[in-house]
Structure 1
Amino acid sequence: MIELGNVAKASSSANRGVLAPGLPDPVEDAQRIFRCALTALSEPGRILQLPVTLRSTCQQLGNATGPAALGLLLALADGDTPVWLDRQASGIATFLAFHTGAPIAGEPMAARFALVADAATAPRLADFDGGSVDHPDRSATLIIEASRLASGGPIGFSGPGIPTRRFLAIDGLPEGFVADWTLNHARFPCGVDVLVTCGDRLVGLPRSTALELSCT
């Protein structure tokens, strides 16, 4: 994993990543993505479209991550928010540091934002900072990339911001995620928040939301 102090030692492929463009309109686009993320977390289970096109940038970065995940990091991360990247997403470390100034966290617990691109190697949710009773706002937000995200399916969302219940089909979540999430939800008001992405779409999963698997 590339630390900020090692940027000068980055490989040529990482250096090409620095040259990849960030948000087309950094100020306006960051605000639009921020509002999209807030909407996703206030209306859990509602699938939203990223309001910015970043497919070309993702291609220049070797498709190490998808447009929605990349856009969220570009809009939300800054010099005060360490970002943890899993091995699959580590190729965007130099790019992210260049465009946002965010330091790259060496371990999950040190991160304010985290990107999980490979579910097979994902840490447990408890490995990330869930904040404290005095400061629950200091918890981490995870971005988890899924291989499929669609309305209707076995995963039921319930809680604040959901009129009754929403059901989604999400493929590519870490093994045992729903059970792990139940433990995270029980920590409320502490616990992590999650944004699940797939391509240029995203859905919010705040710690206040309960998940259950329906029997089919």
Structure 2
Amino acid sequence: MDCRSQCPVAGRCGHQSGLLYPGQRRSVMTAISTHHLWVPFANPVLQSQQAFRKLMRAMSEPGTCVSFDTLYASDSGQAASTSQTAAFATALTLLDQETSVWISPGISSPALIDNLRFHCGCRLAENASEADFVMLSLSELNGLDRFSEGEDINPHTSATLIVEVPALEVASVDEAHPDLLVLSGPGIKARKGVRVQGLTPDHRRLFENNHQRYPLGVDFMLTCGADLVALPRSTQVSTLTNRAATAGEDTQCMSQ
């Protein structure tokens, strides 16, 4: 919703500045500063539907890169940081008063917090384990234990992680590159390759192990600028290292 013309502490602005932190003893959050509010979707109904279709395509076709560069653009007003275009468009589409979000220290800023509160109305979770959505950088992704992975009878209650990465691109599965993730599973005809800059061995094991918890586990949305690639928990992820190990085992078996 575009509230620029009706901003000064009236209507929605006044309501949202009274949001409470979940679980706190009714301590009121600080008032939203209207000076650094970003421009939301110009046409909220139409563009949120278009963004939702993009996100559903990304989730149903893992490894497919969708872009929000033309969907979220503004000729007037202050837009979200170019490094957070896809992340903010995703938040505008999926977050509302019924959802909670935890923002990591690495990407948290007064501007991001105020814009999520103002435009989405979402609750800010104190702990990552309580959040429906988590926003963090790849360098801060050092494990999954602190995030909700759902329950056996309610696996859909797991968290969705919106992870900002330094660079992201679709690549050939035959490319020998240490940043390459090879994807297979539902929604993928054969295999797909995605290069994610900044991957460490721990990240690779984390992505691989997440699938092994299915139907539990978390869903990933990797973002870089206006681009987004989804890695749902149903997707099997392999890397150059374990593919080479598998090939070695196959060669050994053939020689025997």
TM over 0.5: yes
Please, what is the CA RMSD of the aligned residues?
2.5
CA contact (8 A) 1:120 1:174 kept: no
Q: Secondary structure at the match of 2:123?
A: coil
Q: Which residue of 2 aligns with 1:139?
A: 158
Q: Which residue of 2 aligns with 1:26?
A: 44
Q: Which residue of 2 aligns with 1:121?
A: 140
Q: Secondary structure at the match of 2:59?
A: helix
CA distance in 2, matches of 1:126, 1:58: 40
CA distance in 1, matches of 2:119, 2:200: 29
Q: What stretches of structure 2 of length at least 5 have no aligned partner?
A: 1-18, 22-27, 245-256
Q: Which residue of 2 aligns with 1:99?
A: 119
**1:58, distance to aligned residue in structure 2 (A):** 10
Q: Output the amino acid matched with 2:130.
A: A
Q: Secondary structure at the match of 1:87?
A: coil
Shift in alpha-carbon separation, 1:214–1:199, aligned structure 2, 3 A: same
Q: Output the amino acid matched with 1:78.
A: D
CA distance in 2, matches of 1:146, 1:103: 24
Q: 1:52-201 counterparts in 2 under 5 A?
A: 52-54=71-73, 63=81, 65-91=83-109, 92-116=112-136, 118-152=137-171, 153=175, 154-173=180-199, 176-201=202-227
Taking structure 2 as the reference length, the TM-score comes to 0.74
CA contact (8 A) 1:65 1:89 kept: no
Q: Which residue of 2 aligns with 1:6?
A: 29
**1:125, distance to aligned residue in structure 2 (A):** 2.0
Q: What stretches of structure 1 of length at least 5 have no aligned partner?
A: none
**1:135, distance to aligned residue in structure 2 (A):** 0.7
CA distance in 1, matches of 2:20, 2:165: 26
CA distance in 2, matches of 1:64, 1:178: 27
Moved more, 71-80 or 21-30: 21-30
Taking structure 1 as the reference length, the TM-score comes to 0.86
CA contact (8 A) 1:143 1:194 kept: yes
Whichever of the two has the greater Rg, that structure is 2
Q: Secondary structure at the match of 1:115?
A: strand
CA distance in 2, matches of 1:71, 1:143: 11
Q: Which residue of 2 aligns with 1:207?
A: 233
Q: Percent identity at matched positions?
A: 31
CA distance in 2, matches of 1:77, 1:101: 8
Q: Secondary structure at the match of 1:66?
A: helix
Shift in alpha-carbon separation, 1:175–1:30, aligned structure 2, 3 A: farther
CA distance in 2, matches of 1:57, 1:156: 41
